[in-house]
């Protein structure tokens, strides 16, 4: 292998590691955000906080889990607000 081939190989490895680090960092951010959103809904349902507004608890179905998994805490707040105004998903 020539010096140029070795330099290109090292450059490709560095680029690959940089991309892998970026992806792992963003995935961890999404996972943490999803856990916080689902935990928020769990706490709201566990303490029956929606009943103080005269509304039923928010059910855990596929659409609520997907919204919380993708949007995290803002998604959980959106679901709570929608439930308070009478829109159930």
**Spans of all domains in the chain:** 26-84
Q: What is the mean pLDDT of residues 44-52?
A: 92
**Beta carbons within 10 angstroms of residue 80's beta carbon:** 17
Write down the pTM of the prediction: 0.70
CA distances from 32 to 4, 17, 52 (A): 42, 22, 29
- Indicate the average pLDDT of the chain: 88
pLDDT category of residue 86 using cuts at 50, 70 and 90: confident
């Amino acid at each position: 292998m020539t010096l140029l081939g070795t330099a290109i190989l090292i450059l490709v490895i560095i680029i690959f590691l940089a991309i892998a680090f970026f992806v792992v960092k963003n995935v961890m951010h999404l996972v943490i955000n999803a856990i916080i959103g689902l935990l928020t809904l769990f706490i709201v349902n566990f303490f029956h906080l929606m009943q103080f507004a005269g509304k039923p608890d928010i059910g855990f179905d596929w659409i609520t889990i997907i919204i919380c998994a993708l949007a995290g805490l803002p998604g959980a707040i959106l679901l709570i607000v929608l439930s308070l105004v009478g829109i159930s998903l």
